[in-house]
Structure 1
Amino acid sequence: MSHDEDKQHTDQPGKVGPAGGWGSMRGMTELFGRSWPTPGVIETLGRQNKPGGFMCASCAWSKPPNYSHFEFCENGAKKTLWESTSARCTPAFWDDHTVTELLDWTDHQLESTGRLTQPLRYDPDTDRYVEVSWEEAFDGIAEVLKDLPRESVVFYASGHAGLEASYLWALLARLYGNNNLPQSSNMCHETTSVGLKKVIGSPVGTVIWEDLAETDCYFFFGQNPGSNSPRFLHPLRDAKERGAKIVTFNPIREQGLVSFVDPQNPTAMLTGEETKISDQYHQLRAGSDIAAILGICKAVIEADDAARAEGREGPIDWPFIEEHTIGFDTFIDRARTAEWKTITDECGLTEADLRDAAQVYMEAERVIGVYGMGLTQQAGGADNVAMLVNLLLLRGNIGRTGAGVCPVRGHSNVQGQRTVGIAEKTNLVPMDKLRELFDFDPPEKDGTHIVDAVEGILDGSVRAMLNLGGNLVRAVPDTGRIQDAWREQDLTVSISTKLNRSHLHPGKRSYILPCLARSEVDEQATGNQYISTEDSFSLIHGSIGHRSPASEHLKSELAIVAGIAERVTEPNAHRPWRDWVADYGKVRDLIEATYPDDFRDYNKRMNQPGGFWRENPAHFRKWQTESGKAQFTTPDRLNALAFERIEGRYTLMTMRSNDQFNTTIYGHSDRLRGIEGTRDVVLMNEADMAREGLEHGDRVALVGDAGDGIERRLGALSVIRFEIPEGTVGSYYPEANVLMPLSLHDAASKTPGSKGVPVRIERDEAA
């Protein structure tokens, strides 16, 4: 695409068509042409998210029992096409390239080299990776690990690996001698695990699949199904067809919550018939959800006060509150005394806006509160989550059919990995069961969160990072500071399918271990193996691949974990690693023995359509909190930011395009925002542009404004005029991570504040 064509596509950003439809089909087709997948990929897509097939390796949206012919979305298809590419990054690639040379490559270019085919070791003398055997790799890793202090080693996991490999990964870490098990949820939804646990006693959402068909209202906060969970658009369309209401709060007007054309509906595709998604769309300022939700609650309480004064029944569910909650008296006093002007000044919405939203809430019988990282990735993320729970508790909208709290997770098994023991907090793991099953004394000290681990890399106390998936150097905050420190480690290990930026910052000893994709045959001694995953609704699904592996030298994630463990841990009859590799069902038996309530009849139920449910007590109004009741929380702040809003300081939201998944960049088309051909942009309100003397297309730099004395800068960005609140700007993740201080995170969960980063704007003279 030429520069002129790029400019034509970005002159009117935000002027885009509906989510889904022909745009979605074009997005998949264009990636098909770029990735050149191997034969049979259409058949592979037909097996996606179905019993007897494989579970999508993209988002964690649920897989319904009444699945359709094509049970995948644009992003799920892109993930499968990307991994099914015919391109191969063989050891011969390094004959022509050095690691230093590749530092100038984009993330998209790195992954476009194709699937990794053989184990690799970094050779510092030549600045290249060289081929090694699996035995050499495992022996080399063990050699370093055996000499390191146990507390200096970190076992990170992305949300990709299945439950079986994840369980063994956690066991490996504890047998090695620590609980240093940070996971990708540390960077996105750990706020949910901590925040929900405190107020309703459950670390996960209360909604199940059947609730979606019964609800008559959705309230969305900081979640974008168009890019992050497109299959959610189908139940939203169904809800609209039966007359349900949808109210959205999001700083950016995201097309997936505006309108949708179902790509699986021939009539809709031919006619362009759109489903209008949101009945109300409120673009609040970034970080101000607490104020907006307090305003809605205030309007509901005022309506209830007026009704009761007249002897009528009001909208508040008083019997539910009296039986099931504590803390309401303090909360209602806070809402009553809050000034409307203070609320509206903070969130940038009008009193009428918030009263309109409250009216929909009061008229609805069954409400689901949906949220994403717009709530969790804030310095006050746990306060955001608690405020949404306050709103739902007001009318008893937790613990009954068609209602509940619905956090939408990102990576496909990010929630499940926590379920089977990848956790740095010892109180979350049944250590007594591990002691009994595996004949060892598990370490009792809590391990490292990802923020702790990165701080340890910076100060030198972390000497080794073993990564079960992921691209951590690119994904963490403060990337500019992390990259050089990463190389100072004694050992870095990456279990990966493709080349990524983390590989370009090798430790003193560094290995890349290539693994199978989820859609590929995992042939072991007892045949092709099933793995399993957990979705956002706590449903467990079996998954089995059918494609031929990209290379005969690839190993499964579970086999790689066992290969390392066999060399690092002492031999013991209670830990037959090779038997577990031969038959993954034996690992599932161990998971069931460790978590009998969650995984009853695991092997028998794993492949039932729609998965089997890990029951959630809060769904049944059983509150496993300290008080035994659901907790109203009284906010002591009206925004979730860690800084003051002052003149010249902007609140940066990092964002993803619909042409990426986490740090994987499929291409440079953000179709749903009307931005094509580039990711080097900053989205700005027109009034802010005028104050800064900027025109659409001007080049600027974003400069960190955390006040900690550390210089952070992201330059060569084109200003994009966009419908976004004043004082809020947007730029792409992971590129903008360089602007985010490691210290900027939620106080309760340490989740980085990616949706509330303080920045200033400067003209970029170098550009």
Structure 2
Amino acid sequence: MTAPRKGRVKPFEGPAGGWGSVRSLADILPRERLGPVALAQLARQNKTEGFACVSCAWPKPADAHPAEFCEEGAKATAWELTTLRTTPAFFQEHTLTALRGWSDYDLEQHGRLTHPLCYNRETDRYEAISWDEAFAAIGEALRPISPKAVAFYSSGRTSLEASYMYGLMARMFGNQNLPDSSNMCHESTSVGLKAAIGVPVGTTRLEDFDHADALFFFGHNTGSNAPRMLHNLRSCRKRGVEIVTFNPLRERGLERFTDPQNPIEMTTLRETDISTQYHQLKAGGDIAAIMGMAKFLIEWDDAASAAGAPPVLDHDFIDQHTKGFEDFVALVRSTTWKTIEKESALSRSAIEEAAQVYADAKAVMAIYGMGLTQHVKGVDNVRMLVNLLLLRGNIGKPGAGPMPVRGHSNVQGQRTVGITEKTELVPIERLEQQYGFSAPREKGLDTVETCRGVIDGSVKAFVGLGGNFLRAVPETEAMERAWPNLEVSVQIATKLNRNHLFPGKVTYLLPCLGRIERDVQASGPQAVSVEDSTSCIHGSRGKIAPASEHLLSEPAIVAALAKRLLPANPKVDWDAWTADYGLIREAIEETYPEIFPDYNARLFTPGGFWKGNKAAERIWLTESGKAEFFTPKSLNAAGFEDADKRFRLITLRSNDQFNTTIYGYHDRFRGVKGTRDVLFMNVADMLAEDLTEGEIVALESDAGDGVRRRREGLIVTPYDIPRGCLGAYYPEANVLIPIEHHADESHVPAGKSVPVRIARG
């Protein structure tokens, strides 16, 4: 049994925000050896003419707070601005094999990469190389490989400009193998919303918070993953908006909040209660819970009709704008309360309380995260949520509609400009006319398919534009074993991470500028752009000195790779694009004229400029031309049945991390400090398993595929979590997720309900 990292677990009694956020910021700045220069940059964060936060995609308001950053955003900024450096000399002291014993935190904490590096297999070390040598060698290594065998991955932090160039390069090379961060999180949204309402993104914007009568949350930890939203939630509660939360764990940000920017609240320790109802349903129980609410709404509507009272459902909207209502109603009527209560682990009375709030509200926003999308039936989860909204016409009016909360700061925007494996999502004919080439029509590889290809050897080369792919994906052990078989591995990054420690036969590590750093090209200082969760486009301009004089920008690196990889094309001037990013934006505007008119002129519009959304106008771009009700075949979104000794594992993010980036070992809201080797468990389940607090156990996969997957050294910790469910930290728990345990249709790894058993010894 692997010894766990020692730490302590002590319940946290405070609110989200407050002095805890201030202390967290005070801790990370000196740890990164930052002074006044960092504070000056924080003042520019998420401001017009400033820079877009490098962590989450929460919108940037036109009227910003004095400090328009949250605790997590401040950590991300400090992480990028760190004065610590990982130079070539570091790799003379450490082999890659030895570095695999380092933690994720220690690898990135060592500091920013400063030079382009090439892996020397004989010494098992990275060595410095010139940019020209690196680009020439990469092009020479990639060109002979079949385009179908090369994957071009991109992280959701990559700008719109670099993403557009990257997708174009891949298609001109001959494939649409463009897996990205969205494949791992909100692809279920993209598939589910598009099928239901004709657009793959949410329909709401920041101003909708001012018009909503009720907010319904599903599967989102706002306090850790989008803390700036807490200001909107606080404002809603101050005017009496009901907030109903469905989530297996009680997350502090959806319970209580103290505004760090409010002097009265800080000095008096005053708190705002956020959720007016909090329902801890079983992992995978969302379809059942929504089915229960729908059952009440339909029954109440029947009673109102019989009594001659005003209807509960919006029949005018349903008749004019939807299809499939009768089939859905028939399913709702035939579903028993026994089944609903069993699958949701909620009582009928609790669901009735939530349904009553929904019925009383004139405008409802449905806000959700990966607690809906990362299940085998994740797409069904999204579609059931749309069903609920359609019943009372809660799409296409102020204060109403779905609001998926995205992770990485431009993960939604990448899709907008062509980072997708799906031909139907890209204006292929327009690209061909614009650039004079024959684009591939064959569907490319998504993240799950790329992982399969790495394991079975059909993927022979991988180019990563940011991210920590090998750490973020499931089936960790098999992926790490297979990665060295790649013919070519190219990683573009700012810091060292675990993916970089598993080289292919030819491997290059290319350090890039961060978004906060000054990017000066031939035409002068440059700006880039990103799209937030609400489909608003924002300009971003870095002003701090680069971490090293040897760094190149992401657009410059992509352009240099393209020039080495592709034959010359008179219609694509990669050098001109590198010299002036405004020309890239003009090219994007030509490809997507409906979305980006006057792109350069609107780049720094306060609050961003909205790209539009047809469903928000009640124009449904579905096959039927109407919004589609959906009839699920199962109320269990987990994709597997409960069995004796089998648990549903929920992978969790800490308050001290963003995706695979670990900022430290203090998950303040859950009371965990000094360790990530924790197994959160219901007390009744502990008694049933004869486990005691602090006992060290392992988790083993119970997927039934005969593959042994094991996560050792977990500290049993009693926690307020539904029976039959466990919690453990991501990405360390990814070793337990089979590559084939993913959402139907969307292929999102189903990390929110993983079948596992507890093992001793």
Q: TM-score, normalised by structure 2?
A: 0.99
Distance (whole Å) between structure 2 residues aligned to residue 359 and residue 534 of structure 1: 35
Distance (whole Å) between structure 2 residues aligned to residue 146 and residue 334 of structure 1: 54
1:282 to 253, 267, 279: 279
1:567 has 2:560 as partner = no
User: Is this contact kept in 1: 2:162–2:558, CA < 8 A?
Assistant: yes
2:517 to 517, 520, 531: 520
Distance (whole Å) between structure 2 residues aligned to residue 418 and residue 517 of structure 1: 21
Alignment of 1:662-673 (within 5 A): 662-673=659-670
1:263 positional shift:
0.5
1:744 positional shift:
0.6
User: Is this contact kept in 2: 1:465–1:491, CA < 8 A?
Assistant: yes
- Which residue in the other structure is 1:373 paired with? 370
Distance (whole Å) between structure 2 residues aligned to residue 72 and residue 328 of structure 1: 43
- Which residue in the other structure is 2:127 paired with? 130
- Which residue in the other structure is 2:109 paired with? 112
Distance (whole Å) between structure 2 residues aligned to residue 380 and residue 4 of structure 1: 33
1:337-375, Cα deviation, whole Å (9 max, x unpaired): 211121111111110000000011111111000110000
1:148-197, Cα deviation, whole Å (9 max, x unpaired): 11111010001011000000000110111111111110000000000000
1:445 has 2:442 as partner = yes
User: Is this contact kept in 2: 1:16–1:671, CA < 8 A?
Assistant: no
User: Is this contact kept in 2: 1:87–1:114, CA < 8 A?
Assistant: yes
Distance (whole Å) between structure 2 residues aligned to residue 554 and residue 165 of structure 1: 15
2:335 to 335, 338, 346: 338
- How many residues align structurally? 759
2:674 to 670, 673, 677: 677
1:485 to 469, 479, 482: 482
Distance (whole Å) between structure 2 residues aligned to residue 95 and residue 6 of structure 1: 31
Alignment of 1:329-728 (within 5 A): 329-728=326-725
- Which residue in the other structure is 1:83 paired with? 80
Secondary structure of 1:332's aligned partner:
helix
User: Is this contact kept in 1: 2:646–2:755, CA < 8 A?
Assistant: yes
User: Is this contact kept in 1: 2:216–2:364, CA < 8 A?
Assistant: yes
Distance (whole Å) between structure 2 residues aligned to residue 183 and residue 206 of structure 1: 22
Gaps of 5+ in 1: none
2:67 to 60, 67, 70: 70
Secondary structure of 1:602's aligned partner:
coil
Q: Which amino acid aligns with 2:25?
A: M
Q: CA RMSD in A?
A: 1.2
565 and 38 in structure 1: CA distance in 2 versus 1, 3 angstrom threshold: farther
1:314 positional shift:
2.3
1:38 positional shift:
5.9
1:579 positional shift:
0.5
1:4 positional shift:
14
1:250-292, Cα deviation, whole Å (9 max, x unpaired): 0000000000000111111111110000000000000010000
515 and 4 in structure 1: CA distance in 2 versus 1, 3 angstrom threshold: closer
Distance (whole Å) between structure 1 residues aligned to residue 569 and residue 346 of structure 2: 63
User: Is this contact kept in 1: 2:5–2:675, CA < 8 A?
Assistant: no
User: Is this contact kept in 2: 1:38–1:86, CA < 8 A?
Assistant: no
- Which residue in the other structure is 1:42 paired with? 39
1:515-539, Cα deviation, whole Å (9 max, x unpaired): 0110000000111101000000000
1:172 to 158, 169, 172: 169
User: Is this contact kept in 1: 2:85–2:111, CA < 8 A?
Assistant: yes
- Which residue in the other structure is 1:248 paired with? 245
Distance (whole Å) between structure 1 residues aligned to residue 30 and residue 101 of structure 2: 25
Q: Which amino acid aligns with 1:141?
A: I
Secondary structure of 2:234's aligned partner:
helix
1:142 to 139, 142, 147: 139
Identity percentage over the alignment? 55
User: Is this contact kept in 1: 2:455–2:479, CA < 8 A?
Assistant: yes
Secondary structure of 1:304's aligned partner:
helix
Q: Which amino acid aligns with 1:276?
A: D
Q: Which amino acid aligns with 2:577?
A: W
Q: Which runs of 4+ in 1 moved over 4 A?
A: 3-7
User: Is this contact kept in 1: 2:5–2:676, CA < 8 A?
Assistant: no
Q: Which amino acid aligns with 2:756?
A: V
Secondary structure of 1:580's aligned partner:
helix
User: Is this contact kept in 2: 1:38–1:84, CA < 8 A?
Assistant: no
Gaps of 5+ in 2: none
Secondary structure of 1:605's aligned partner:
coil
- Which residue in the other structure is 2:731 paired with? 734
1:676-695, Cα deviation, whole Å (9 max, x unpaired): 11000110000000000001
4 and 629 in structure 1: CA distance in 2 versus 1, 3 angstrom threshold: closer
Q: Which amino acid aligns with 2:294?
A: C
Distance (whole Å) between structure 1 residues aligned to residue 313 and residue 669 of structure 2: 38
